Structure 1
Amino acid sequence: MDQKLAQLSVLNQKDKGAAYLFLLSGIFTSQGNINIAHDVHALVDHLINQDAGIIAGRQVLSELIKSLTSSAILNSELRKIIVEDVLSIVQLRATSYEEQVNLLKFELADILENDEDWSGAARVLRSINLEASQRSDENKLRVYIRIVRLLLEEEDSVQAETYYNRATSLIHSTSDRETLLAYKLCQARISDYARKFLEAASRYHELSFVGEIDEDERRYMLSAAVTCAVLAPAGPNRSRILSSLYRDERTAELPTYNILSKMFLDHILRPVEVKEFEKTLKPHQLAKIALSANDRLSSSLEDGDFFEGASTRTGPTTVLDRAVMEHNVLASSRIYNNITFGGLGALLDLTPGAAETMARKMIEQGRLKGHIDQVDKLICFEAAREEDDAQGKAGGLGDVNQDTEDTGSLFTKRWDKQIRLTAAHVETLAQHLTENGLLCSEAVRM
């Protein structure tokens, strides 16, 4: 090969392109060429480093890429070695061979993705400078969506969201049905990883009806919709999603149908059922959650809470834990007119203070109807009217604030406002009594 390249180097510049192409063709057409990787390396190194000319170099590299993307080399590992080797050589003059470098990177990403090296494929695609190339917005969009999909396969939701936001800014540039469906699936998965489970469940369920998607994929999306609905914060909005899924005939065939039906029918969930469901969850759906300082303080055991068998848990530890506890609080409101802090704590396996904190948050956020008597340590549930119950199942209570973290600042501000109003009323009453001679000014000053 070195001898052939030396002969070609003395040719006129206009003849070099055809000669190099003929030599490249011979490398790939030779039967059983065991030195194909060495020959390709020698040819590309000569083109790039021996100043064979940019025009000839681009022609040969473009033809080489066509050969690599075709079935000329069946061994994927050998093709990967050649692509990586060629990239390492051409990368030194990437500004002169920008389009060829990008095509090589796309080919390498395809090989890595076929080998299920998701992070490697995403890393290669991220190294492509799409802004500098002459690619349309639609082509850039497809690349961004592909990067998001690969990063989500690797459970890297933080980086995935960055590229998802870039895709969102370009989504208007396409009307291609396949691209739009891929984007919507990324939307659902990003919401899932961000623990916006209500949003994710709705999008998964919507996609499960799309006929263009493979049947197995639609079944997976339906199952994902059920999982996200179960993990969502309890309340009327989740009831609406649960209602849609429960009435979908396809969910009866899913292994998660039992927990779906119990949640929809407001049955209390048992630990055994929760453990079975937990086995179907992905790592991000079992994420740990932390309690605020106020919650830890209000959930601690008091002197009267110590008895044999009393729980010492001060709150839920995972997303699933919280979802199940909140559901059981709602289910309890259907069974009891009222319940003590200790009774609810025993049901939820929490301290009485932690049970009261959970009920308080749900009442505050509009997800539970009732009031709390802190003197008698009693939670009183308000009986829902029939129309309210129907609205709950249809999500008719309107937008509900479902913040997961409560620092207690809202109640502090409300308490301060009540103090100011009370002080103002006392001042008005004192002035009225003084004006009518019922209270002497000296007594007011005292």
Structure 2
Amino acid sequence: MDQTLAQYASLGQKDKAPAYLSLLQETLSHPDQSRLAADIHTIVDHVVNNDSVGPVVGRQVLADLAKALGAAAIKDSAIRRQVVEDTLAVVQPRLVSYEEQVNVLRFQLADLLEAEEEWSDAARVLMGISLESGQRSVSDEEKLRVYIRIVRLLLEDEDSTQADSYYNRAALLAHTTTDKETQLAFKLCQARIMDYNRRFLEAAQRYNELSWVADIDEEERKQMLSAAVTCAVLTPAGPNRSRVLASLCRDERTADLPTYNILSKMFLDRILRPAEIHEFEGTLKTHQLAKINMSSNDRLASIADDDDDDEGASISKRKGPSTVLDRAVLEHNLLASSRIYNNITFRGLGALLDLTPGAAETMARKMIEQGRLKGFIDQVDRLIWFETGNEDEEAQNKAGGLGDVEQETEDTGAAFTKRWDMQIRMTAAEVESIVQHLSNKSLLGAVTA
């Protein structure tokens, strides 16, 4: 091999390119591939680093090599990967002269690494591609596709910090493409970034939107719908979450999901039990189980009044939620308890949520401050009073379209009497709706018989 290369180096400039290309093809097609990687390394090193060859011939040889590798001239993926990595290592010191050929080889190496599920390594290879070079014009759409691919690969390895950086670059170019596939890929990246950044409400909305796109494969749409349900469950309790839960619960497709049970219970404002939470926890990804830290002020507030409780009483020692899921469940159970009770003591709420009385008060206080819970706190009697929301809005959020039921209120002279009467009306309306449904299905006669 060395003697052949030395002979080719002494040829005239017009004859060098055909000679080296012929040698490369002969090497690639040789039946014995035990020395294939070493021979190609020798050829590449010679044409790149030998000044007598010149960059023009070197570019032709590297372009031909990249084309042959792209056409799977080397069947063994391990040898193909070794050849690409060796070639990139040899060319790196002279990158300026072989930029276009290096970019092609980097794309091929990224494909090989992605096929072997080495996500972060594939992303780093793509990061090394020069997209801002003055020697080669790269369209904004091509840059966008590369950035989206890097984001997707980084998220596969849960590297949301770097992924967020490249997502921001992609966001600046998202308006430049009219390709529907690229637009959908960007929207999916957007939803996943929101998910990883714990912006669960926005992530649930994006996932839900994508689950309706007909151009996406049915199985992938089902996965996006499942992701939407998961993010909706992890969203902080409040009116915004209620709207998302209502939208998902009314979607007939969610009934087939394994997470439908917890979705329906949250939508109906029912208290969640530990067994249900544990089952749902098994479906979560690592970032959705992230630990959360309490601020020093919340920690002090959580223990401030606990010493006033009777000694010997059975009181939980938990000072607050420990994970994202834990916080979502505790806030939901607090919101659900407001639908059941007119008021509750700090101790009673703490027993319900498995928190210290001080921690239960702190959670209720924060939700009231943020407008996610209607009520007020009586520090003297150590009571939390819950206020009713707008009845029409609550009715619209109920299953079965009970918001269309005409409800007239009477002046009974007492706020709690009004609330009790309204609850009776709502219950009667629900019973009436069930009876009407059974009647439409011709099931009442069968039950009576």
Does the CA-based 8 Å contact 1:236-1:391 persist in structure 2?
Answer: no
2:381 alignment partner in structure 1: 376
Match of 1:178 among 181, 197, 219: 181
Partner of 2:10 in structure 1? 10
1:188 aligns with 2:191: yes
- SS of the residue corresponding to residue 371 of structure 1 reads strand
Aligned partners of 1:285 and 1:319 also within 8 Å: yes
Partners of 1:393 and 1:185 lie apart in 2 by 30
Asked if the contact 1:144–1:166 (Cα under 8 Å) also holds between the matched residues in 2, the reply is yes
Quote how far apart the aligned CAs of 1:37 are.
Answer: 1.1
SS in 1 for 2:322: coil
Distance (Å, rounded) in 2 between the aligned partners of 1:29 and 1:166:
42
Q: Which amino acid letter does the alignment assign opposite residue 334 of structure 1?
A: R
Superposed displacement of residue 390, structure 1? 4.0
Q: Which residue of 1 aligns with 2:297?
A: 294
Ranges in structure 2 where 5+ consecutive residues have no aligned partner? 400-449
1:363 equivalenced with 2:387 (yes/no): no
1:42 aligns with 2:47: no
Q: Deviations over 1:188-221 (max 9, x none)?
A: 0000000000000000111111122122211111
CA contact under 8 A between 2:246 and 2:397: conserved in structure 1? no
Select between 213-222 and 314-323 the one with higher mean Cα deviation: 213-222
Q: Is the 8 A contact 2:268 2:398 kept in 1?
A: no
Counterpart pick for 1:220 among 210, 220, 223: 223
What is the CA–CA distance in structure 2 between the aligned matches of 1:94 and 1:127, rounded to whole Å?
11
Counterpart residue type for residue 14 of structure 2: K
Deviations 1:76-135, CA, capped at 9 Å, x for gaps: 110000001111111111011111111111111111011000010011111222112421
**Match among 334, 338, 357 for residue 329 of structure 1:** 334
Q: Secondary structure at the residue paired with 2:385?
A: strand
Match for 1:311 among 305, 316, 322?
316
Q: State how far apart, in whole Å, the 1-side matches of 2:263 and 2:351 are.
A: 24
Amino acid in structure 1 at the alignment position of 2:151: V
Find the aligned partners of 2:365 and 2:308 in 1 and give their Cα distance: 21
User: What's the secondary structure of 1:299's corresponding residue?
Assistant: helix
- CA displacement, residues 356-399 of structure 1 (integer Å, 9 cap, x when unaligned): 111111111111111111111111111234213146679xxxxx
Normalised TM-score (structure 1): 0.86
Give unpaired runs (5+ residues) of structure 1: 395-446
Give CA deviations for 1:142-179 in whole Å, capped at 9, x if unaligned: 10000000000010000000000000011111111011
TM-score scaled by length of structure 2: 0.86
Which structure would you say has the larger RCO, counting Cα contacts within 8 Å and 6 or more residues apart? 1
Counterpart of 2:249, as a letter, is: Y
Aligned to 2:350: 345
What does residue range 221-236 of structure 1 map to in structure 2 within 5 Å? 221-236=224-239
Q: SS of the counterpart of 1:379?
A: strand
Counterpart of 2:146 in structure 1 is: 143
Letter in 1 for 2:20: Y
Aligned counterparts, 1:113-262, within 5 A: 113-132=114-133, 133-262=136-265
Q: Write the distance in 1 (CA, Å) between the matches of 2:388 and 2:192.
A: 37
Counterpart CA distance in 1 for 2:170 and 2:395 is 39
Instruction: Please tell me whether the aligned partners of residues 234 and 326 of structure 1 are also in contact (alpha carbons under 8 angstroms).
Output: yes
Separation of aligned partners in 2, 1:392 and 1:298 = 34
Q: How big is each residue's C-alpha offset from its partner over 1:200-258, in whole Å with a ceiling of 9 and x where there is no partner?
A: 00001111111221222111111110000000000010001101110111111111110
> Cα RMSD (Å) of the superposition?
1.4
Residue 107 of structure 1: aligned partner: 108
Q: What residue is the counterpart of 1:398 in the other structure?
A: none
Matches within 5 A, 1:29-68: 29-51=29-51, 52-68=53-69
- Secondary structure of residue in 2 paired with 1:96: helix
1:86 aligns with 2:87: yes
Counterpart Cα distance in 2 of 1:364 and 1:92: 60
The range that moved more, 225-234 or 15-24, is: 15-24
SS of alignment partner, residue 269 of structure 1: coil
Cα–Cα, structure 1 residues 97 and 331, in superposed 2: closer, same or farther, change >3 Å? Answer: same
Amino acid at match of 2:74: I
> In the aligned structure 1, how far is the partner of 2:395 from the partner of 2:190?
30
- What secondary structure, in the 3-state scheme, does the structure 2 residue paired with 1:97 have? helix
Deviates more, 1:207-216 or 1:345-354: 207-216
Q: Which of 265, 269, 272 does residue 266 from structure 1 map onto?
A: 269
**Number of the residue aligned with 2:26:** 26
